[in-house]
Chain A
Amino acid sequence: MLRIHCPWCGTRDESEFRYRGDAGRVRPAHEAGLASFSAHVYERANPRGWHLEWWLHVAGCRQLLKVLRHTQSHEIRWVGRAEEPAPLPEDCAP
């Protein structure tokens, strides 16, 4: 079970959060066209390693968090607010 350190509420159980997908991606502008949106919605690196993720703290502050999690060890190295730039490691998938 993950324990996620919410910057607002402190460390809470995974069950208080809702996973909201890959936070390494930026939604394209709508002018970017079909190919960009297809890539945005459907294409995933699915890395074995560091992964930047969106987690919404639905049972707490209802804030959207960025979580840097290792998909193999489940280690969480960093949790930040939605607008914070994440300190991505070298080997983090794009």
Chain B
Amino acid sequence: MSAAPGRVVAGLLTAGGRAVTFRFDGRIFQGLEGDTLASALLASGERLIGRSFKYHRPRGIITAGPEEPCALVDVMTASGREPNQLATTLLLHEGLEAVSQNRWPSLAFDIRAALDRLSRFLPAGFYYKTFMSPGWAWERLYEPLIRRAAGLGVLAPVVGAHAEAAETLHEHTDVLIVGAGAAGLAAAAVLGASGLRVLLAEQDAALGGGTLLDARWQAWRERRRAGLVRVPGVRCLERTTVLGAYGHGVFAALEVLGAAERAAFGGLRERLHVIRAQRVLLATGAIERLIAFPGNDVPGVMLAGAALAYLRRYGVAVGRRPVFFINNDEAYEALFALAAAGITAAGVADVRPASHAAQRARELGVDVLCGARVTAVRGRGALRAVQVVTGEGGQREFAADCLLISGGFTPAAALATQLGSPLAWQESIAAFVPELAGAVGRVAGAARGVFGLAAAAREGALAGQAIAAELRGREVAAAAAAAAEAEDAGLPADAMATPMSPLWEVSGRGRAFVDLQNDVTSADVRLAHREGYEHVEHMKRFTTHTMATDQGRIGGLLGSAVLAEARGVPLSEVGQVKARPYVQPVPFAALAGGEVREHYKPKRRVALHDWHERAGATFVPTGLWLRPLVYARASSWEAVLGEARSVRRAVGITDVSTLGKIDVRGKDAARFLDFVYANTFSSLPIGRARYGIMLREDGMVFDDGTTSRLGPEHFLVTTTTANSTAVLEHLEFQLQANCRELDVLLTDVCDQWAQFAVAGPRARAVLSAVVGGRELSNAAFPFMAAGEATIAGVAGRLFRISFSGELAYELAVPASEAERIWLAVLEAGTPCGISPYGLDALNTLRIEKGHVTGAELNGNTSAADLGFARMLKPQGDFVGRVLSQRPALEAADRLQLVGVRPAVRTRRLRNGMQLVAPEAPTASLGYITSSTPSVELEGWVGLALLAGGRARIGTRLTGTSPLHDERLEVEIVSPHMLDPENTRVRA
């Protein structure tokens, strides 16, 4: 076990923390509760964390937060391996096992590091330009090789177990504050005091932002934090990153749960918050920038602010002999803090001629070189020395174990640009600054280029007051601001700072990286320019600059600056690459939330579901419904045909409750149905049902079903199961958009009624035993009769309609009575040999009869194609009327519905089999839509859509299924293959 030589003082987040044991690359380490993996590794003196994406260069830790480009690791969990976790945000816990990435066989000795020596031959675009021919080799040879050589983490199948542990929360708030630094906390206090609902999202494990790094601000921070807890309308979410802005006040945020809450929620890891806010306040701060110089990626090079964070937050000194390379006064805070902990900087290269902070550093005895810049570093796996050129041109070399750099600060503007904010160049900080429209929200603090904690707190309070004034009125806002201000008396003032001086790149021998994660150098950016990629977004795509998971947060602007220099224009003209959602990588499992596995989509179950299950049914999903396919463990033709045979020879019962049912009432109900159906319903007598077809406005068939007239102004429409939702929406749309003058009420009664079809030659005998108050003879209740009936003592409805082609009835009872009535029918039918049948048997029966379903009503078939031309009413308007009479729909070679039988009866048909003329075997004339072995006819029967099909009845064609390597001769017959005279249904 390694000791922790880097832990030099008590850290804000780790003080008093228990010791935690973890593993990195198989070695055992110890850290403290509150550590991140990065801080614990730094405390143990580890510098080398991984190998880079393209060149396999050794890389260390650059930052202390989510903007980290290099310190990515794979984490081994009970459920597998999770790649690309940021060591800088990964909270340490007992037993954590992390593995470095992109190296083989080990981190210290990586065989592919040889790629680095070849780097001059591997510029941006190299792979695409080089591995061009032969064409086959890209997919089979080059790409697999390159993919193995490049990359970061290893994707292993962890999805299964991970997917369980996430959920989605729908949030509503008046104001969303992104970032709980000085600006965010100050704004939250004002907004909370105004009585507004506030959601304060902070990506860090602790509220405070920049105040966590300055001991003088501790009292203020604690006061604010305690104050916010007392306001009921304010909620603070820690470890919560706002991932993206989606317009209309909608934001997505990812919360990583803390240990206690994780345990309470059964191991839940993440929450996706979908936030709807009236206003947003972006207090996202600014991100310290890299400087491009040769060797700026050697382990030991780190941002100065990160060194400060490791010291304050975790008590960790990132080195014993730090050298600084900086261009602003803020970066000296790390130097002063390290000095206070007893670690004196070996030297400072400040690019400016002079500064306040440089003077203070000199007073501490530090060797500060002004007007200087770092030109090279020594050391490969770890930094050993830093070479500096002074303002006067002199050379200096400092022995060092770390180089702390700062190129200035860039406002974190990703969310603002997603909200459409323009970016304005601000010369004083050499960065682009966002601004939001007032109706959307505000930007405050460092996020809009106002640096210094006191300034940020003032800005935050003002922004909070402005938003409160808009939402609650001026007086309320002013009172709240005054109350908050009273608590701010005696705040520490910001130090006088000498302005920063931009420095983007130091040229010299060796590569200077602008994007550390994607291994993009300043030379790559220049190459992009030479090749004509002048726009920053084109340069991005050519070089992959900022296209890694960190989106170039610390180096993005460097690429723009190099491009600006190459183009010879000011940086303000080049702009910066647009950051996209998500601002940070998100596990897919977190996006899926709770909607996985059995909750992936809802299941609709019929009232009799449990009975079907007990009867051994295999279910088939139909839309959201679960329908019994066949009453057997697995569907086999034997079982299906057994059920179908029972219907043809005796009697069967099937559950058709999933059909859509729409109650239509009103004095204009009949007129409305005449408008939405192609055929006429106003002439339908009370107590009768009629088959109807509904067209879309483009003239194609939309849906079919029977509609019954239950009273003068009362109809019941049934739809297909698949289209039930769409038909209801279609009817509601037509009623409200095109028939506003009609007095009609539509009510969805689908779930109210359980509906069963009882079909077969003995159906009347069975139903006579259970139906009361109605005679079922042909005279009293003929084919297509409909009406109320008492069924086994329950008030229900009876319809004499048939989908199977047999004598059949459908009975409808309230769904709550479904099982009782079903069992009563089964009992009454036992002497007749009744058996239940599923969807497959129903399909066999309807194919024999030539009835169509979704396979034929496929959206491309017209009424004429299906043989329904005569149903279209000749007079009056209806949906689809005009376009159904388009000349093109009357063409003789339209695909028309026909029946198909194999010429050799023992051969089988297949759905999707193409129909071709024997002399032109590759020219499809049509295809088989449905097929089944027949009960009543010999061999297989099918329905097909065939060009000019009706004229081909009586001829023979070839059925071919190249996929199965099958060809057979088929007879084209009428689709009504069974009982075309309808004697059975009228029996």
Q: Are A56's CB and B733's CB within 8 A?
A: yes
Residue from the set B276, B732, B738, B740 with the largest chain A CB neighbour count within 10 Å = B732
Q: Which of A37, A74, A83 contacts B697 (CB 8 A)?
A: A37
* B698 interface residue per 8 A CB criterion: yes
24 interchain pairs (CB within 8 A)? Answer: A20-B729, A23-B737, A27-B738, A30-B877, A32-B882, A33-B882, A34-B882, A34-B883, A34-B885, A36-B882, A40-B697, A41-B697, A41-B698, A42-B698, A54-B737, A56-B733, A56-B736, A58-B729, A63-B736, A64-B733, A64-B736, A76-B248, A82-B737, A82-B740
Asked if B733 and A1 sit within 8 Å, CB to CB, the answer is no
Question: In the docked arrangement, what's the CA distance between A80 and B883, Å?
Answer: 30
Is residue B637 contacting chain A, with contact meaning CB distance below 8 A?
no
Check A2/B737 contact, CB under 8 A, given A29-B877, A64-B732.
no
Chain B residues within an 8 Å CB radius of A63: 736
Residues in chain B near residue A34, CB distance under 8 A: 882-883, 885-886
A46 within 8 A of B: no
B246 to A, closest residue via Cβ: A1
Q: 1/0 per residue A1-44: CB within 8 Å of B?
A: 11100000000010000101001000101101110111011100
Residue numbers in A under 8 Å from B732 (CB-CB): 56, 62, 64
How many chain A residues touch B (Cβ–Cβ < 8 Å)? 30
Other than the given A3-B249, A54-B733, 12 more pairs (CB < 8 A) read A1-B246, A1-B248, A2-B247, A18-B729, A27-B737, A30-B876, A34-B885, A40-B697, A64-B733, A74-B248, A76-B248, A83-B740
Is residue B511 within 8 Å, beta carbon to beta carbon, of the partner chain? Answer: no
- Interface set, chain B 712-756, CB cutoff 8 A to A: 729, 732-733, 736-738, 740
B57 contacts the other chain (CB 8 A): no
Query: B956 within 8 Å of A by Cβ?
Result: no
B729 touches A56 (CB 8 A): yes
Tell me how far the C-beta of A58 lies from the nearest C-beta in chain B, rounded to whole angstroms: 6
Contacts of B740 in A (CB 8 A): 82-83
Quote the shortest CB–CB distance from A56 to chain B (angstroms).
6
- CB of B252, distance to nearest CB on chain A (Å): 9
Q: How far is the CA of A18 from the CA of B727 in the complex (A)?
A: 13
* Residues 39-69 of chain A, each 1 if its beta carbon lies under 8 Å from chain B, else 0: 0111000000000001010100011100000
Number of A-B contacts (CB under 8 A): 62
Main secondary structure of the interface of B (DSSP, over half): loop
The CB with the most chain A CB atoms within 10 A, among B249, B698, B729, B882, is that of: B882
Residues from chain B with Cβ under 8 Å of A20 in the complex: 729, 733, 737
Q: CA separation between A38 and B774, bound complex, in Å?
A: 50
Given A18-B729, A74-B247, also A41-B877 (CB < 8 A): no
How many angstroms between the C-alpha atoms of A32 and B882 in the bound complex?
9
Name the A residues within 8 Å of B729 (CB-CB): 18, 20, 56, 58
Once bound together, how far apart are the Cα atoms of A29 and B675, in whole Å? Answer: 12
Chain B residues near A37 (CB, 8 Å)? 697, 882-883
Chain B, range 863-882, C-beta contacts under 8 Å to A: 876-878, 881-882
Q: Which residues of B contact A13 (CB under 8 A)?
A: 276
Q: Which of A18, A37, A73 has the most CB of B within 10 A?
A: A37
Query: In the bound complex, do residue A3 and residue B733 qualify as a contact, i.e. CB atoms below 8 Å apart?
Result: no
With a cutoff of 8 Å between Cβ atoms, the chain A residues found around residue B878 in the complex are: 30
A82 partner, pick from B246, B250, B736, beta carbons under 8 A: B736
Known contacts A41-B697, A64-B736, A82-B740; A3 and B877 CB within 8 A of each other: no
A5 to chain B, nearest CB (A): 10
B420 CB within 8 Å of chain A: yes
Known contacts A41-B883, A58-B729; decide if A2 and B248 are in contact (CB<8 Å).
Answer: yes
Contact between chains at B250 and A3 (CB < 8 Å): yes
Inter-chain contacts of A1 with B (CB < 8 A): 246-248, 250
Determine whether the beta carbon of A38 is less than 8 Å from that of B247: no
Expressed in whole angstroms, the minimum distance between the Cβ of B204 and any Cβ of chain A is 27
Q: How far is the CA of A94 from the CA of B740 in the complex (A)?
A: 22
B 246-284 contacts with A by CB, 8 A: 246-250, 276
A54 to B734, CA, bound (A): 11
Q: How far is the CB of A82 from chain B (nearest CB, A)?
A: 5
Instruction: Give bound CA distance, A43 to B698, whole Å.
Output: 12
In Å, the complex CA distance between A56 and B733 comes to 7
Which residues of chain B are within 8 angstroms of A32 by Cβ–Cβ distance?
A: 882
Closest Cβ–Cβ distance, residue B425 to chain A (whole Å): 24
Q: A30 — nearest CB in chain B belongs to which residue?
A: B877
